[in-house]
Structure 1
Amino acid sequence: MKTLHKTALFIACTLAFSSSVHGAYQASEEATQLTQDTILIDSHIDVPYRVNEQWVDVTKATEDGDFDYPRAKAGGLNAPFMSIYVPASLDDSDESTALAHKLIDYVEAIVGRAPDKFAIAKSVADVKSQFEQGLISLPMGMENGSPIQGDLDNLKTFYERGIRYITLAHSQSNHIADSSYDIRRKWKGLSPFGKTLVTEMNNIGIMVDISHVSDQAFYQAIDISKVPVIASHSSLRKFTPGFERNMDDDMIKALGENGGVIQINFGSTFVSKLSQNWRNQMTAKRKALVDKEGEDSPLVAAFDEEYIAKNPFPFANVDTVLDHIDHVVKLIGIDHVGIGSDYDGVGDSLPEGLKDVSTYPNLVQGLMDRDYSEADIKKILSGNFLRVWQAVEDYAAKH
């Protein structure tokens, strides 16, 4: 799976401890129906990279992964952004651009296999009309701007193929921006090209995604952007102190002033300090063992399984995710928060009650239990994101 929080670590967790407890969260008929009756946008699902690693037909039920058609229908998911994820290891190479095109091909292949179930969506209007037709829309966002390769012609090409947001960097600083994970602050924010790119993304109609970038890059991006930006799959640093991948309160406030939206990541280590600390402790102890015994030691090979057996992974739950939504609403209001689960991207670290795309009604039930109105729930499910996307489209139409 994907880098850092998207590792075999969590696969081992699930193999050792089956924590899929859908039954612990029973959504009411009202919550389930509200989910079915509403456009539901999840702005970050890693199906393309999943099927690139091992092809599986997600137009039918699958035995693994977090997404397939039957589960999406059951969960009311009708507009998942397919993440065109390119690993940072491919930065500054033609291979990154080639992989991005290959992953887009996979999304088109999904639609080609089941045009009665799925449709490519390139606009807000597409999502709305496809919802009325009973189709699942597949808009696309590019995770890691590396495939642009410093060439604005590539930006235009990817727009034409359906890319509607770009996460400027991923786990390493690239030619566009510094990454929150990279201690080398190569650009002190955005590169000169990155600053140009933000403007051109505004002009062409591609949303600027500030998930993964450094704090400096975030502030520079919102300063340059003439339209609201998104955080396609981030959570709050308040609950995970020191984890720069998440956003702190000052950033959330700045995002609100910008008119943007933060789409909450479901991964346990993104939403729970306890889960984050567990991961950090395991990583530190594994590194100490490698330093002492060497990477090829049998002790190292057995470490993960033995550690997890003695120290079960502390999964987050629905309430943990809801706490993040509550905090955004408290800080900047109901108009700036949504869902960016990172399904098929965070391995098996998903919270209890939110293990796959069939479980959105559990989140809706939680919102109802916390006295969110139907109108506000609809904003969280899609209204806020659609507002930003429409603003980006309207600006581009004039420029």
Structure 2
Amino acid sequence: MDTGRHAAGLAFLERYPTVDLHAHPGRFFMSGAPKTPFVASYPEPDAARAVAEMRSARLGAAVFATVADLPVLERTDRGIGATRAFGPGEALADHQRQIGAANRVFQREQLPLARTGEDIAAAHAEGRLAGLLSIEGGDFIEDRLDRIAHAAASGVRSITIIHYRTNQIGDTQTEAPTHGGLTALGRDTIRAMEAAGLLVDLSHASPRTVADATAIAARPMLLSHSNVAPAGGSHPRLVTLEDALRVTATGGVVGCVPAGFAQASFDDFVDTIFRMIDQLGIDHVAIGTDMDFTYRSVLPSYRDWPTLARALLARGLEETEAARVMGGNVMRILA
């Protein structure tokens, strides 16, 4: 760690609230999970460590994302994927377990649950870290759209409609298409989410699903942790510029992720951020680290958050521009 850049970054973070648009701090969502081979392959959850690092890095807020398809995930020859169907009631039961795990972290660590940008700004002014609640995967909804309003009432602010499992809503980007895009139930799901004030997150969705979803958008949508593929680079988890522009056309944002897809170093991640600012515009780029549950992260700890802030400034962003990328753009769409 460059201590000079770290200190300068901390000074910036004292002045501006910043937001991690998508994270799994300390893999809190695995607390109390059945010990499948996939779950057992990770260290024990440690949310307290992650929260302490966020606080020391002067992060303003982080989105704590549960993982709706966790019970059916395993590593396959294609990477992570679903290897079986859910049992009756299993998806909803595990969703409730994970929401309970998140709430216990918020209570134990005394994190205010933020719903709006104003909540984040107020917590930052008091020197407090805020938490936001998200669900990665709409599997728990099944065909019960009333569960969406219930999730919103419990404090959830966004749902990534599809994760690694092709579900009742649409196709995932890492498997062969099953539905050919968004399903009829998926369209109803998006309308119900927007009616409930929830942000629709299209990370992990197939290109056809992204196109179908953005075509009916009435509110800003997200790609919370999805990088635009660079020239000459490809990976199933990267998105096309066309798909990213579909999301930004809704007024939404794309969260740059420090995953090891077409990135091998911290400097590569900074390059990605600036490339996406050029491609999408300064008002549509954010940071979504996928912390503690991503592939070969080139930003391995929240201890590096101040260094990231300083790197953006050193590469030419004005303070107000860096503040928009690192938090302001997310706070705007939470209005």
TM-score of Structure 1 vs Structure 2, range by shorter chain: 0.7 to 0.9
Aligned residue type for 2:107 = G
8 Å contact from structure 1 (residues 92, 175) kept in 2 = no
> In the alignment, which residue of structure 2 is the partner of 1:42?
20
8 Å contact from structure 1 (residues 81, 139) kept in 2 = yes
> In the alignment, which residue of structure 2 is the partner of 1:164?
157
Query: Per-residue CA shift, 1:126-181, capped at 9, x if unaligned?
Result: 22222222221111111010011111111111111111111111112100010001
Matches of 1:189 and 1:92, distance apart in 2: 24
Out of 47, 65, 75, which is 1:58 matched to?
Answer: 47
8 Å contact from structure 1 (residues 229, 258) kept in 2 = yes
Matches of 1:246 and 1:261, distance apart in 2: 15
> In the alignment, which residue of structure 2 is the partner of 1:310?
none
> In the alignment, which residue of structure 1 is the partner of 2:58?
76
Corresponding position: 1:110 with 2:110: no
Corresponding position: 1:181 with 2:171: no
What's the secondary structure of 2:237's corresponding residue? coil
What's the secondary structure of 2:8's corresponding residue? helix
Normalised by the length of structure 1, the TM-score is 0.73
Query: Identity, % of aligned pairs?
Result: 22
Corresponding position: 1:123 with 2:121: no
CA offset at residue 25 of structure 1? Answer: 7.1
CA offset at residue 57 of structure 1? Answer: 5.4
Normalised by the length of structure 2, the TM-score is 0.87
Structure 2: runs of 5 or more not aligned: 34-42, 73-84
CA-atom RMSD, angstroms?
A: 2.0
8 Å contact from structure 1 (residues 85, 143) kept in 2 = yes
8 Å contact from structure 2 (residues 20, 287) kept in 1 = yes
Give the greater-gyration-radius structure (CA): 1
Corresponding position: 1:207 with 2:202: no
What's the secondary structure of 1:324's corresponding residue? helix
Query: Per-residue CA shift, 1:200-241, capped at 9, x if unaligned?
Result: 111110000000000000011111111110111111212573
Shift in alpha-carbon separation, 1:364–1:240, aligned structure 2, 3 A = farther
Matches of 2:303 and 2:266, distance apart in 1: 14
8 Å contact from structure 1 (residues 178, 186) kept in 2 = yes
Out of 60, 69, 79, which is 1:87 matched to?
Answer: 69
8 Å contact from structure 1 (residues 79, 139) kept in 2 = yes
8 Å contact from structure 1 (residues 127, 137) kept in 2 = yes
What's the secondary structure of 2:112's corresponding residue? strand
Out of 245, 249, 262, which is 2:237 matched to?
Answer: 245
> In the alignment, which residue of structure 2 is the partner of 1:286?
none
> In the alignment, which residue of structure 1 is the partner of 2:82?
none
Query: Per-residue CA shift, 1:68-115, capped at 9, x if unaligned?
Result: 32x112212121100111226265742121112111111211222232
Structure 1: runs of 5 or more not aligned: 1-22, 273-315, 391-399
What's the secondary structure of 1:253's corresponding residue? helix
Which runs of structure 1 show a deviation greater than 6 angstroms over 4 or more consecutive aligned residues? none
> In the alignment, which residue of structure 1 is the partner of 2:77?
none
CA offset at residue 24 of structure 1? Answer: 5.3
Aligned residue type for 1:207 = L
Pairs aligned (count): 311
Deviates further, 320-329 or 174-183 = 320-329
Shift in alpha-carbon separation, 1:230–1:222, aligned structure 2, 3 A = same
- Structure with greater helix share of residues: 1
> In the alignment, which residue of structure 1 is the partner of 2:279?
331
Question: After the TM superposition, which residues 246-325 of structure 1 pair with which residues of structure 2 at under 5 Å, given as runs?
Answer: 246-269=238-261, 271-272=262-263, 316-325=264-273
Query: Per-residue CA shift, 1:256-300, capped at 9, x if unaligned?
Result: 32211000111112x42xxxxxxxxxxxxxxxxxxxxxxxxxxxx
Corresponding position: 1:220 with 2:212: yes
